[in-house]
Amino acid sequence: MKNCWTTFEYPMELRHLRYFVAVAETENVTRAATKLHVSQPALSRQIHDLEDEIGFPLLERSAKSVRLTEAGRTFLTEARAVLQRAEEAVAAARAKAGGMSGEIQVGYAPSLTVQILPQALRIFQAEFPGMRVMLHDLSTEEMLSQLHAGKLHLALMVQPTKKTLRGLRFEELARYPLQVAAAPTHPLAKLRSISLEKMAREKLIGYSQKDYPEYHDEVAALFQTVGSKPQIVQEHDGVTSLIAAVESGRGVALVPSCVSCMVGQRLKLLSLVPAGPPIVVGAITKEGAVPVVVEKFIAASRPVKK
């Protein structure tokens, strides 16, 4: 059988294909009309016009439902392919219109973006399948430096201070309460929550002062509320080594709640009582005009409303 598009000479529009696919998938004109936000009579008329133009029936109709004919099943496969190709063409054109050369450079902090990044990549790459997202696991200082230098288009990270944010734009994406991570064998693992006063007596494992100065500032400010100083006994340049150190029982760590996605059963997470200020995570770009595709990536990173 010939491909049904090879000799097609009718003034068909993409909306005819979208209408047909919606009816074929729901097998009900009323439900399809609701999904498409059009009236049922108008939708029925469009499907009849389509069948008149191509010269054969696509649907078998009954009082309560519709079913595809043999020709209709073939047409459905082809219609889906055409709609998909049209979406890809629009996405490719949008990418070019954004002034980018086929890829965007994104810096990120693994422990803070473990919930944000997978969603962002899935949504963004569905809209822009031709764009490459180059991910760079960097420290806070590295991300800020590379944003200023134009090496990164975007960074997903903790909210920096106003001083370090100069010349940059920050958009909040998520807030995570601070929790205490302990090894399952640690005495604290028996608790569900812990006070800051008690935490002041514990050995802390944290991120390095050089790469994550804001972490040390926040921890120091937190303990200052109870008149204490944190006892940081080890520093690590990444979340992987920090988790391993805590798991070995060398100390406990203050981490954002989103880390639970990474640790599984390896560590026990306890709540702080009273709860301290949350960790604010967001997207940072340089001030001024932002390329369309970068704005789209930020939009894909925002929480999905349920």
Tally Cβ neighbours within 10 Å of residue 260.
16
- Tens digit of each residue's pLDDT (9 = 90 or more) over 194-210: 998 998 899 999 998 88
CATH class given for the domain over 14-97? mainly alpha
Of 3.40.190.10, 2.60.40.1930, 3.40.30.10, 3.30.479.30, the CATH number of 103-175+281-301 is 3.40.190.10
Distance CA 159, CA 165 (A): 9
Alpha-carbon separation of residue 146 from 83, 153, 209, 211, 212 (angstroms): 39, 9, 19, 14, 15
pTM above 0.75, yes or no: no
- Tens digit of each residue's pLDDT (9 = 90 or more) over 96-147: 665 544 789 999 998 899 999 999 999 998 888 878 999 999 988 899 999 9
Of 3.30.465.10, 3.40.640.10, 3.10.20.30, 3.40.190.10, the CATH number of 178-276 is 3.40.190.10
What pLDDT tens digit does each residue of the chain (306 aa) get?
Answer: 344 444 444 467 888 899 999 998 888 888 888 888 889 888 889 898 888 888 899 999 887 788 999 998 999 999 888 888 887 777 667 666 655 447 899 999 988 999 999 999 999 988 888 789 999 999 888 999 999 999 999 999 999 888 888 899 999 999 999 999 999 999 999 999 999 899 889 999 999 888 888 888 888 888 898 888 888 999 998 888 999 999 999 899 999 999 888 888 899 999 998 888 899 999 999 988 788 889 999 999 998 765
Strand partners, 68: 59
Q: Where are the domains of the chain?
A: 14-97, 103-175+281-301, 178-276
- Mapped onto helix, strand or coil, the DSSP state of residue 218 is helix
Distance CA 21, CA 34 (A): 14
b/e map 200-228, b = 16+ CB within 10 Å? eebebbbbbeebbbbbbebbeebbeeeee
Same topology, domains 14-97 and 103-175+281-301? Answer is: no
